[in-house]
Amino acid sequence: MKIAVIGTGYVGLVTGTCFADSGNDVTCVDIDQAKIERLNRGEIPIYEPGLEEMVRENQAAERLHFTTDLVAAVAPASMIYLAIGTPQSDDGAANLSALWVVVDSIAPHLRQDAVVVTKSTVPVGTCSKIFARLKEHTGRDCDVASNPEFLKEGSAIEDFMRPDRVVVGVRREEVGDALHELYKPFLRTEKPFLIMSPESAEMTKYVANALLSTKISFINEMANLCERMGGDINDVRRGIGHDSRIGFAFLFPGVGYGGSCFPKDVRALVKMAEEYDVEPRIMLAVDEVNEKQKRVMIEKIGAQFSRNLRGKTVAVWGLAFKPRTDDIREAPALVLIDWLLTAGAKIQVHDPEAMENVRALYGEKITYCAKPMEALNGADALAIMTEWGDYQRPEFKEMFQRMRSPVIFDGRNLYEPWTMERLGFKYHSIGRPAVG
Ligand SMILES: NC(=O)c1ccc[n+]([C@@H]2O[C@H](COP(=O)([O-])OP(=O)(O)OC[C@H]3O[C@@H](n4cnc5c(N)ncnc54)[C@H](O)[C@@H]3O)[C@@H](O)[C@H]2O)c1
């Protein structure tokens, strides 16, 4: 199949590369000229494990191309995937302005038999609106389908190549068949290919993210209760997770969820519900609990230093919103850094992949350290914000020696409190009693 993928970000680049890898001829388009130039030089603009090799192989096999020329990519394509960003607007709704620019631009150049597929997360009803807009432009009925993406940054290739399920929303059976053909190489283990209406497919994506966000806010609320009442959320988590009705996934307490999807998708769902006069009480609470949780480290660090951070040095381990990505969109670490800067603290940070993105935001206002241990030199406290593998088994004695005062605020519950106490640290974590 000849496929155009419009938008070459975390989703578009992975989608295009995986479709090329299964034998299709794929052209990825972006308006960001610098990004396309880098890709054409064989450089990958984002960090995603396994992606670089796969892009190179498929470029070399001439199945994967990158361009800023939208028309040249779209005109010969039988499938046009829209993977443009749909960020949050000021009012919380998904901002579709880039999507409409693309829809208007591609309309005159679509093949008669082309299928336009939304991979971007878009509000329920968007496929219908795209259909109407294309009809306005072309005077004919164009096929528009929804194919929401469920990949996780950090394991995006694996998720795309071996999805738990593929969801498509179509109006015509033939379009469902064409999409099924495209996905067959990824469904060899008999995972389901689910065909539904575009509205149901669009809603499925929001419901999935809403439920996952709910689990996170739920366990964070329980963690905060444990802390007050003397329980240990890790024991409680084990106590509930073995119940097969509950399970362990997405029930890890922490510093709140971030990233480019959960926060904006929860708010977009709130906005959609309100437009239909439905009060989305659970989603409102999930968002509110999360916003509060993103400040939980601020509360703990503030209390430790009697709210006076002037002249203190704070090390921050982990800046990305989760491990195995360089994505810092809505990352809880940024909320902490903003507060520490306002409070007059000196900040020394480490992250295996996200430091360049953070440098683009803060410049030289903070100190970037090539190694986790370097960030601890002379530190009055360490805050752990992302559970990278690099931080799981550190040399505690060296940490102790490097820090001016051995105080750790662990936002990811990486260590055992009794071990930390024995080693002489003052150790605060989430939903467990502080020690030391
Ligand atoms: N990142 C994820 O983990 C994830 C997972 C599932 C779904 N999604 C959804 O997929 C969509 C894309 O997300 P992302 O994280 O890849 O975003 P992104 O910001 O990384 O990438 C979007 C890309 O679109 C490009 N773009 C913007 N306007 C354009 C235009 N007019 N023409 C061509 N390109 C244009 C941007 O330059 C950028 O490279 C969003 O709707 C998101 O909600 C994201």
Residue 28 CB–ligand 1 contact under 6 Å? no
Per-residue pLDDT tens over the stretch 114-153: 999 999 999 999 999 999 999 999 999 999 999 999 999 9
- Positions marked catalytic: 261
Q: Is 84 in the pocket of ligand 1 (CB under 6 A)?
A: yes
CB of 323 sitting under 6 A from ligand 1? no
Closest residue by CA, ligand 1 atom 20: 9
Query: What are the pLDDT digits (tens) for 336-371?
Result: 999 999 999 999 999 999 999 999 999 999 999 999
pLDDT for res 330: 97
| 3-state secondary structure string across the chain | CEEEEECCCHHHHHHHHHHHHCCCEEEEECCCHHHHHHHHCCCCCCCCCCHHHHHHHHHHCCCEEEECCHHHHHCCCCEEEECCCCCECCCCCECCHHHHHHHHHHHHHCCCCCEEEECCCCCCCHHHHHHHHHHHHHCCCCEEEECCCCCCCCCHHHHHHCCCCEEEECCCHHHHHHHHHHHHHHCCCCCCEEEECHHHHHHHHHHHHHHHHHHHHHHHHHHHHHHHHCCCHHHHHHHHHCCCCCCCCCCCCCCCCCCCCHHHHHHHHHHHHHHCCCCCHHHHHHHHHHHHHCCHHHHHHHHHCCCCCCCCEEEEECCCCCCCCCCCCCCHHHHHHHHHHHCCCEEEEECCCCHHHHHHHHHHHCEECCCHHHHCCCCCEEEECCCCHHHCCCCHHHHHHHCCCCEEEECCCCCCHHHHHHCCCEEECCCCCCEC
What confidence tens digit (pLDDT) does each residue in 145-177 have?
A: 999 999 999 999 999 999 999 999 999 999 999
Q: How far is the CA of 99 from the centre of ligand 1 (A)?
A: 10
Cα 285 to ligand 1 centre (Å): 27
Per-residue confidence band for 265, with pLDDT thresholds at 50, 70 and 90: very high
pTM: 0.97
What pLDDT score does 381 carry? Answer: 98
Q: How confident is the model at residue 397 (pLDDT cuts 50, 70, 90)?
A: very high
Residue 164 near residue 24, CB atoms below 8 Å: no
Pocket of ligand 1 contains residue 96 by CB under 6 Å: no
pLDDT at residue 366, rounded to an integer: 98
407: CA distance to ligand 1 center in Å? 39
Distance 169 CA to ligand 1 centre (A): 20
Q: What is the DSSP letter of 295?
A: T
Residue to probe by mutation, ligand 1, list 14, 30, 66, 325, most atoms within 8 Å of CB: 30
User: What pLDDT shows up at residue 283?
Assistant: 98
| C-alpha triplet 332, 334, 338: angle, nearest 5° | 125
103 lines ligand 1 (CB under 6 A): no
Distance CA 336, CA 316 (A): 9
Output the pLDDT for position 104: 98
Please tell me the distance from the alpha carbon of residue 313 to that of residue 377, in angstroms, as a whole number. 9
> Does residue 328 have its Cβ closer than 6 Å to ligand 1?
no
- Which residue among 39, 80, 84 is best mutated to probe the pocket of ligand 1, counting the most ligand atoms within 8 A of its Cβ? 84
Taking the centre of ligand 1 as the mean of its atom positions, its distance from the CA of residue 190, in whole angstroms, is: 29
Is residue 144 helix, strand or coil? strand
- How many angstroms does the Cα of residue 255 sit away from the middle of ligand 1? 25
Could you say which DSSP state residue 41 is in? T
Q: Is the CB of 71 under 6 A from ligand 1?
A: no
Nearest ligand 1 atom to the CA of 152 is 3
Cβ atoms of 339 and 373 closer than 8 Å: no
Residue 120, ligand 1, Cβ within 6 A: yes
Condensed to tens digits (0 to 9), the pLDDT of residues 278-303 reads: 999 999 999 999 999 999 999 999 99
So what's the pLDDT on residue 86?
98
